[in-house]
Structure 1
Amino acid sequence: MPLGPLSLSLTACSRRIARRHPGLFRRLGEHSRTRFVLDPTDLPVVLCLDPNDGLPSVRATRRSCDGAARISGPLAALLGLVHGAYDGDALFFSRDLVIEGDTAAALALRNAVDDAELDISQEIAAMSGPFSGLLLQAAGFAGRRTGVCLARPAEDTAW
């Protein structure tokens, strides 16, 4: 699969998130121009996130990219962390999540994401127009079948 369209889609999604949650990138503070490397270890791609002071870009690559902070772990752990379903400290101490480089930057990103209470399924659905309901149903089904947290869990749901 060519990674150009994936990079463009991820950049568009991250910019929409930036518009809907402007505090997310403001909360990065001094790290608002720090490149983050997100490495889902069970996928053949690495994501390079450049926050660019609230005008983010995401580049998918098959090779590693340089960044100040690298966050590695299984895709399920990374998504669960974004959605608040998993505790970042527990993932780190169990070694399911590996932080390399500027740990202060990685912590700033984690705190910013926690504070924004993101739901990636909702964000993508908001971009999907009349297909949003169908997309949310598909994400719910896929999440139940795979055990991967594809949306922010309800307050009474435990993963």
Structure 2
Amino acid sequence: MSQSQALIPLFPPGLARVLRVIPLAPLSLSLTAYSQKIAKSHPSLFRRLGEFDHVKFVLDPVDLPFVICLAPSGGVPRVTVTRGKGDGVARISGPLAALIGLVHGAYDGDALFFSRDLVVEGDTGAALALRNAIDDAELDLAQEIAAISGPFSGPLLHLTAFIQRHTQVYLTRPEEAEAW
């Protein structure tokens, strides 16, 4: 085990087993709706993909029993959660906490790659374009969820902070987490 692996929390195996039997269509629909909201509030995220704005990416959280397939579709993204390998031009694999931490800038992608905590397969140019687009957007997934949650935004942010403190999984940007 690499030194960084010891620091990256893994999804609890018992919960991962439960996820093996849940239907994935509702999760796919929810993630598609969520990603389309992000596309509307951060249109440059998808423009920044350049020539890769119509390719499919596979995000493979190795500690979960499914993969997440992202089709940016020129700014009208579609997300499909599937069991098995998924289909895409680039696959980015690693623990869920590392993948989420990359979105929030909590982990250095190069360090994760060279320590083999993160594995990139397929078109590395496409994977790099996705990483750069996400880095430039400075997304905060918890804030994005709160923005579309109306009166539930406050309680959701408190729940997110609680979960983050107790799991060490970055659900928000590190500078935001320190403010809580």
Q: Tell me the TM-score normalized by structure 1.
A: 0.96
Mapped to 2, the partners of 1:53 and 1:156 lie a distance apart of 32
The residue number in structure 1 matching 2:104 is 83
Alpha-carbon spacing, 1:81–1:70, altered in 2? closer, same or farther (3 Å) = same
Correspondence 1:42-81 to 2 at 5 A: 42-81=63-102
Mapped to 2, the partners of 1:82 and 1:156 lie a distance apart of 14
SS in structure 1 of the partner of residue 174 of structure 2: coil
The residue number in structure 2 matching 1:134 is 155
SS in structure 1 of the partner of residue 116 of structure 2: coil
Mapped to 2, the partners of 1:48 and 1:114 lie a distance apart of 19
The residue number in structure 2 matching 1:38 is 59
The residue number in structure 2 matching 1:7 is 28
SS in structure 2 of the partner of residue 80 of structure 1: helix
Q: How many residues align?
A: 157
Q: Deviations over 1:71-101 (max 9, x none)?
A: 0000010000000111100000010000000
Contact kept in structure 1, 2:161 and 2:177, CA below 8 Å: no
The residue number in structure 2 matching 1:143 is 164
Task: Look at both structures and tell me which one has the larger radius of gyration over its CA atoms.
Answer: 2
Mapped to 2, the partners of 1:156 and 1:142 lie a distance apart of 11
- Stretches of 4+ aligned residues off by more than 6 angstroms: none
Q: CA deviation at 1:155?
A: 7.2
Q: Deviations over 1:27-55 (max 9, x none)?
A: 00000001000000000110000000000
Mapped to 2, the partners of 1:85 and 1:79 lie a distance apart of 9
Contact kept in structure 1, 2:47 and 2:53, CA below 8 Å: yes
Mapped to 2, the partners of 1:123 and 1:63 lie a distance apart of 29
The residue number in structure 1 matching 2:134 is 113
Mapped to 2, the partners of 1:129 and 1:45 lie a distance apart of 30
Show structure 1 runs of 5+ residues with no match: none
SS in structure 1 of the partner of residue 107 of structure 2: coil
Show structure 2 runs of 5+ residues with no match: 1-21
Mapped to 2, the partners of 1:144 and 1:4 lie a distance apart of 30
Mapped to 2, the partners of 1:131 and 1:64 lie a distance apart of 35
Q: Tell me the TM-score normalized by structure 2.
A: 0.85
Mapped to 2, the partners of 1:67 and 1:76 lie a distance apart of 21
SS in structure 1 of the partner of residue 40 of structure 2: helix
The residue number in structure 2 matching 1:28 is 49
Alpha-carbon spacing, 1:58–1:155, altered in 2? closer, same or farther (3 Å) = closer
